[in-house]
Amino acid sequence: MEMPGEDGYELWLRYRKVDNPGQLARYREAIPNATVLGSGATPDIVRSELARALPVLLDRPVPLLDQVQADNALVVGTVDELAATGVTLPQADCCELGEEGFLIRSHPTAGITQTLITGNSWPAVLTGVFHLLRLLQTRQDIDGLNLSLSPRIRHRVLGHWDNVDGSIERGYAGRSLWNWDDLQATTGTRYHDYARSCASIGINGTVLNNVNAQAESLSTEYLRKTAALADLFRPYGLRVYLAPLFSAPVQLGGLATSDPRDPVVAEWWRRKVDEVYRLIPDFGGFEVKANSEGQPGPQDVGANHDDGANMLAAALEPHGGTVLWRAFVYDVATDADRAKCAYKEFVPLDGRFRPNVFVQVKNGPIDFQPREPFHPLFGAMEKTLLALELQITQEYLGQSMHLVYLAPMWKEILDSETYAKGPGSTVARIVEGAADGHTASCILGVANTGSDRNWCGHHFAQANWYAFGRIAWDSDLSAEAIADEWVRMTWSNDPSVLEAIKTMMLGSWEACINYMTPLGLHHIMQEGHHYGPDPGFNAAPRADWNNVYYHQADAKGVGFDRSSTGSDAASQYHSPLREQFDDIDTCPEKLLLWFHHAPWDHRLRSGLTLWEELQQRYDAGVAAVEEMVSIWQGLQAKIDPQRHKHASKRLKQQLENARLWREVCVDYFGNFAPSKDSWRRSLDSWSKSATAPNRSSSDLTTV
Ligand code: GCV
C-alpha cells in the first residue's frame, strides 16, 4: 500500500506510532498517563504538545491528569512546583541546571517509577519535554533515565534577513514568515509552529528583520507589530531582537547626525530603547551591520565601532539587552586582501567594548563559502565577547536546490584549534566563553525559513535548521548523531532508510565543496545571486567583488597567495597554525588555494599534480551526487510519494548543476593549466544536457 503523501510542514516534530512492538509496550508501560503541574501559557503549551504527541506515538489515549496522584507516571513541572508536591531534588542538581537546563529523571516511588521532567523555569521544562519526546521519536531506551542537560551557549539565535515588504534577502523558501501588514490582528498557527519548532531544539532568540536594515523597523507602528510577535513567542522561551539602521536617529528621529558621541543621539537611542522595552519587556537586543556593504555606521562620522556599539549598549544595558555588533567589514582602505580586514579593524578595539556587546564574527573571513578556515578573530580578542555567526540558508551552497547538510562544516569550525591559549582553545571554547573566562556567550544562524509549506524549500534543508539548534545547545554533539536524530524524526526509524539517508547527508558537504570549490577555491559563484559557477567574472565595480580576484588563475598556477610571500593573512593565526598555513607543503590541502598560489604542477599527497587533482575533485563531487541520486531512488518504496518526488526533482537538479560546475570550472581553469588534453579525456562522458542556470534566486523556490 502506498504511503500517504506528506508536505513536510511537521518538520522533525512528526509524531508517528512506535512501530516496534517491544518498544511500544515498554513506552506504554512507562507512560500510561502524564501530569503537568502549574498553570500559564507555557504549561499549556506543554499540555498541548504531550496531548498531540503521546497518543500518536503510543497509539492509545494517554490521559493528562489534573491532580498529583500516587500513580502519576510522567510528572512535568518546575523544581519549585515539584517540591510543592513533595518531590524534592538535591539542591546541587537544581543549581547546576541554571535557568535553561532541564533534568529528566526516573524516580522510583510507591511501587511505580515516575519519570520527572523539571527545570528552574518553564521554558527549560518545555525544552526537557521536547527532549523526552525526541527520545521516544528516536526509539531510545527510557528506563533509568538520569539526564541533566544545560546549554553552554547562552544566546542561541536565529537571524532572519527579512524585509518589511515580505521579501527575504538570501531567502529560498518563499516569503517572510512575518506578515507585517496584519500582524497585530493575526495570531496564526504558523507563528506558534515556528516558535514551537525553535523551542524544540533550544533556540531562544530570533532577530526578526534584515541586517541590511530599514529605519521603519524601529517606528512605533512596527514596534507594536514586533511586540505582537514577542507576545506569541514568549511562552516558548523565544526572545525577539531587531536589526536597527544605525542612522535611524536621522531617518526616523529627524536629527542632523547619528554620531554616537553626540549626547543628543545617545538620548534618542535611550528613549527609543525605553519605548521598545515598554512594549517588549524581555526584548533581546540589537544586531547591527554597520559600515559594511554600504550600511551606515559610526565611521561615517569619524567615530569607530566601539563608539557605536557602546552607545547602543548603554541604552540597552539597564533593561538587560544585548548588542550583536557584526564584524563583517571589508573596506579596501584597510587591506587589499578582504580576508584580513575585519581582524585589522577589530583587534585594536579589544577591551574597549561594554560587557553587553558581542562582536559577531562569521565562521570564516570571507563570506559563508562552502569551506573557509575559521575566522582569525576567534582567538584574537580575549577581552571581548565574540559571537559566532553561521549561515543556515545556503547562499553559496546551492540554496534550496542542493542537498547539503551543514553540520559537518559547523563542527569543523567549532572544533578548530585556534591555539590562542595553546591546545584546547578551540573556536567552540572561545564562543562559549570558557577559553577567556567570559560568562556570556552567543551563536547566531542566518535562518533558512520562509512561507513555503515545508518551511525551508528543500525538505533536507530542514536538517540544517535542526542541526543549528542542536549544535548551539551542545557543540560537542557530532554531525552524525544529529543527522541520526533528524532522520529518525523526519523520515523513518527503519534502519535501511536511516543508514541510506545518513550516508547521503554526511557526504553531501564534501561533495558540494568538490563540485563547486575544491582545494580551497572560493567565491567563484555567479555574481549577485551566487548560485551557479562563473570563475571568470571580472566586471564588478570593486576588485574584491570579482571572482578572478579570489582564484588569481594564471599560467603559473591558481589560488590566492595569503602566505608571507603574498598578503600574509596566514600571520593573523596563532602558531603553529600560521607556520602551517604559510608553508605550501604543510598547509592542509583542503585550504591549499585559500592560502597559496600553487603551481599547476605542484604535487599533492595523492601523487597527482594540482591540475590533475583539481579535475579529480570535480569528478568526485559529481560522482557523489550521482550516488545520492541513486540512493534516493532506491528509497522510493519507503518514503511517502510527495516528499520523495519533491526531493527527487531537486536532487536531479543538483546533479545537473554539479555537472555544470565541473564543466565550467574545468574548462575555465583549463585555459591556464599547462595541458588541456589531460582533462578532455573525461569530457565526453559528461552530461551535455546541463545548461547554465539563468534564473533569479527567487525562481529557485519552485521545482
Ligand atoms: C545581509 C553577504 C550576502 C549579503 C548579506 C551580507 C551580510 O555579502 O551576500 O546578502 O547581507 O553577506 O552578511 O551582511
Per-residue pLDDT of 459-499, as tens digits, reads 999 999 999 999 999 999 999 999 999 999 999 999 999 99
- Residues listed for the chain: 703
- For 124-136, b where at least 16 C-beta lie within 10 A, e where not — what string? bbbbbbbbbbbbb
71 pLDDT tier (thresholds 50, 70, 90) = confident
pLDDT (0 to 100) of residue 674: 80
One-letter amino acid of 160 = H
Q: What's residue 692's pLDDT?
A: 38
Catalytic residue list contains 367: yes
Report the distance separating Cα 289 and Cα 302, nearest Å: 17
With the most atoms of ligand 1 within 8 angstroms of its CB, the residue from 328, 393, 544 to mutate is 328
Which of 366, 367, 372, 391 has most ligand 1 atoms within 8 Å of CB, for mutation?
Answer: 367
**pLDDT for position 182:** 83
Q: Average pLDDT for residues 228-249, to the nearest whole number?
A: 97
> Is the CB of residue 211 below 6 angstroms from any atom belonging to ligand 1?
yes
- Residue 290 CA to ligand 1 centre (angstroms): 12
Q: Would the pTM count as exceeding 0.85?
A: yes
Report DSSP state, residue 436.
G
pLDDT at 4 over 90: no
Q: What is the mean pLDDT of residues 560-575?
A: 98
Residue % of the chain over a pLDDT of 90: 90
C-alpha cell at 273: 530603547
- Which three-class secondary structure state does DSSP give residue 603? strand
- CA distances, 623 to each of 397, 408, 480, 618 (Å): 17, 20, 22, 9
pLDDT at 187: 63
Query: pLDDT digits over 82-130, tens only?
Result: 999 988 888 888 889 999 999 999 988 878 889 999 999 999 999 999 9
- The tens digit of pLDDT for each residue in 641-678 reads 999 999 999 999 999 999 999 999 999 999 998 876 55
332-368 burial: b if 16+ Cβ within 10 Å, else e:
eeebebbbbbbbebbeebeebbbebbbbbbbbbbbbb
Could you confirm whether 395 is annotated as catalytic? Answer: yes
| From 19, 293, 476, 480, active-site residue | 293
pLDDT at 431 over 50: yes
Active-site residue (options: 49, 317, 335, 367): 367
Residue with cell 521554558: 123
Mean pLDDT of the residues in the chain: 94
- CB of 239 shorter than 6 A to ligand 1: no
Closest CA to 564 of 586, 593, 592, 596: 596
The H or E element spanning position 443 is strand 442-446
Q: What is the pLDDT of residue 184?
A: 67
Helix (H, G, I), strand (E, B) or coil at 375: coil
Binned at pLDDT 50, 70 and 90, residue 703 comes out as: very low
The pLDDT assigned to 698 comes to 37
The predicted structure's pLDDT at residue 701: 32
**Which is more confident, 5 or 477?**
477
What would the pLDDT profile of 312-353 be if each residue is shown by its tens digit?
Answer: 999 999 999 999 999 999 999 999 999 999 999 999 999 999
* Degrees, nearest 5: CA angle 545-551-554: 120
In 454-574, where does DSSP find H-type helix? 462-473, 479-490, 495-516, 547-551
Rounded CA separation 272/270 (Å): 5
| Mean pLDDT value of segment 384-406 | 98
User: Is the CB of 290 inside a 6 Å radius of any atom of ligand 1?
Assistant: no
Residue 305: what residue type?
A: H
Residue 683 predicted with pLDDT over 80: no
What is residue 160's three-state secondary structure? coil
Tell me the average pLDDT across 195-210: 98
Predicted local confidence at residue 1, as pLDDT: 65
Per-residue pLDDT tens digits for 503-529? 999 999 999 999 999 999 999 999 999
Q: Is 677 a catalytic residue?
A: no
